[in-house]
């Protein structure tokens, strides 16, 4: 890695510091490449760190169950073997080809010159979908993520949504909170069927065809913290005690400047071939950001795509290299 003021030179630039990006950083080091990683968030781990660090992840090979924060910690430790340069709280904005390299401009004026770029940006930049009744309540009882369970102990919690995050958080909070109510405007759910069954078998009250219509503080402190909510269920309005509302309504995702790089995009995802190459020379992609026939968006899949992308990028960076690197077990000491 070479750094001169606002200029960085590296073999591989990874755009996105989520699980796929962190594994790609490790693998680049395994292939003997210098690597830099850029991410718009202030911490490593991407969506896991920002949204569900306490969530138990069950489909990562070798881990019957691993908390999101523990998975990220392991990936960071693994990536450290590559001695990556992290460029956090910065966004990759421009890309241009120059001789046998790619130059990526960041929003702080830094220019990164790399032999290849690997985009592992997940869903891109993301912002939570708002709760219509929640305007003015953020920080007073309304939240969109559950980065820690501690604030919900012995509280009445209302979780809004019908997807995996809503059901996961309801299930994890149920043993800790005084009460948990899950509110969803439909009577069908997008969440995994097994998780739905677990929630229904728990003490969580599930209200369907329902909507949170009012958030309210205590009468004696109208500008104070949240005390209760009104939930409209059909023609009935129920008032529930609630010191916390978690609005798990999904996210608005945006690939942002990546769409201006000339890569082929299909339904907000970057199209790649079997080598994880995009339509732009020297630019690869892996993880949830990618699209191809048969694509499955799982962390486990992202790890394999990262290895495929890095091995193919290695040949672009050094034409004398081979795509297959050999087995990591053959590279261990002693």
pLDDT at 327: 79
The Cα–Cα gap between 71 and 49 comes to 10
Q: Can you say how many angstroms the Cα of residue 211 is from the centroid of all Cα atoms in its chain?
A: 27
Q: How many CB atoms lie within 10 A of CB 315?
A: 15
pLDDT at 267: 83
SS3 264: coil
Residue 51 is inside which H or E element, if any?
A: helix 46-51
> Which segments are annotated as binding site?
20, 39, 47, 52, 92, 126, 288, 329
Q: Furthest-apart CA pair in the chain: how many Å?
A: 75
Q: Where are the domains of the chain?
A: 2-126+251-331, 130-247
The Cα–Cα gap between 303 and 147 comes to 24
Burial 133-155 (b: 16+ CB within 10 A, else e): bbeebeeebbbbbbeeeeebeeb
- The answer to whether domain 2-126+251-331 and domain 130-247 are alike in fold is yes
> Which segments are annotated as binding site for FAD?
20, 39, 47, 52, 92, 126, 288, 329
Mean pLDDT by 10 residues, the chain (334 residues): 73 96 98 96 86 84 93 97 96 93 96 97 74 93 89 97 92 96 96 94 97 95 94 95 94 75 90 97 96 95 98 96 83 54
Q: What fold does the segment set 130-247 form as a domain?
A: FAD/NAD(P)-binding domain (3.50.50)
- Tokens 């290849």 map to which residue? 116
pLDDT at 6: 82
The Cα–Cα gap between 317 and 309 comes to 12
The pTM for the full model equals 0.77
pLDDT at 280: 96
Q: Can you say how many angstroms the Cα of residue 86 is from the centroid of all Cα atoms in its chain?
A: 17
DSSP character string of 105-172: EETTS-EEEEEEEEE--TT-EEEEPP-GGGTT-BTTTEES--S-SGGGTT-EEEEE-SSHHHHHHHHH
If phi > 0 it is left, if psi is from -120 to 50 it is alpha, else beta; for residue 146 that is beta
Q: Under a CB-based contact definition with an 8 Å cutoff, are residues 129 and 252 in contact? A: yes
pLDDT at 237: 96
Q: How many CB atoms lie within 10 A of CB 35?
A: 27
pLDDT at 123: 67
pLDDT at 126: 63
pLDDT at 9: 96
Listed residue (156, 162, 128) closest to 143, CA to CA: 128
Q: Under a CB-based contact definition with an 8 Å cutoff, are residues 206 and 160 in contact? A: no
Orientation angle between helical segments 164-173 and 193-200, nearest 10 degrees: 30
The Cα–Cα gap between 48 and 68 comes to 6
Listed residue (251, 250, 289, 294) closest to 268, CA to CA: 289
The Cα–Cα gap between 15 and 120 comes to 6
Residue 181, strand partner residues: 158, 205
In CATH terms, the superfamily for domain 2-126+251-331 is: FAD/NAD(P)-binding domain (3.50.50.60)
Q: What is the token pair recorded at 170?
A: 């309801």
């Amino acid at each position: 890695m070479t750094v001169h003021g606002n200029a960085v030179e590296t073999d591989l630039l990874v755009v996105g510091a989520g699980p796929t990006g962190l594994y790609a950083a490790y693998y680049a080091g395994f292939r003997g490449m210098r690597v830099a990683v850029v991410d718009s968030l202030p911490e490593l781990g991407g969506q896991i760190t920002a949204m569900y660090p306490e969530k138990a992840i069950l489909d990562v090979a070798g881990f019957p169950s691993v908390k999101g924060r523990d998975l990220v910690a392991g990936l960071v430790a693994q990536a450290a073997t590559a001695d990556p340069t992290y460029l956090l709280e910065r966004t990759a904005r421009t890309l241009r080809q120059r001789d046998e390299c790619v130059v990526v401009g960041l929003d702080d004026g830094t220019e990164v010159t790399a032999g290849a770029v690997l985009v592992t940006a997940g869903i891109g930049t993301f912002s939570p979908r708002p709760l219509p009744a929640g305007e003015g309540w953020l920080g007073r009882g309304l939240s969109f993520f559950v980065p820690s369970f501690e604030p919900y102990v012995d509280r009445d919690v209302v979780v809004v949504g019908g997807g995996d995050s809503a059901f996961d958080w309801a299930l994890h909070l149920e043993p800790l909170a005084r009460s948990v109510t899950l509110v969803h405007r439909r009577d069908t759910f997008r969440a995994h069927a097994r998780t739905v069954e677990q929630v229904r078998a728990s003490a969580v009250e599930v209200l369907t065809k329902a909507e949170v219509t009012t958030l309210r503080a205590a009468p004696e402190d109208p500008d104070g913290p949240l005390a209760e909510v009104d939930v409209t269920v059909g023609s009935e309005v129920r008032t529930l005690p609630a010191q916390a509302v978690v609005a798990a309504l999904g996210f608005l995702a945006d690939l942002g400047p990546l769409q201006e790089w000339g890569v082929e995009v299909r339904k907000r995802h970057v199209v790649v071939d079997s080598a994880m190459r995009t339509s732009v020379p020297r630019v690869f992609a892996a993880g949830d950001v990618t699209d191809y026939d048969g694509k499955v968006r799982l962390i486990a899949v992202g790890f394999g795509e990262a290895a495929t992308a890095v091995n193919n990028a290695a040949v672009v960076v050094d034409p004398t290299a081979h795509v297959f690197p050999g087995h990591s077990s053959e590279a261990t000491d002693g």
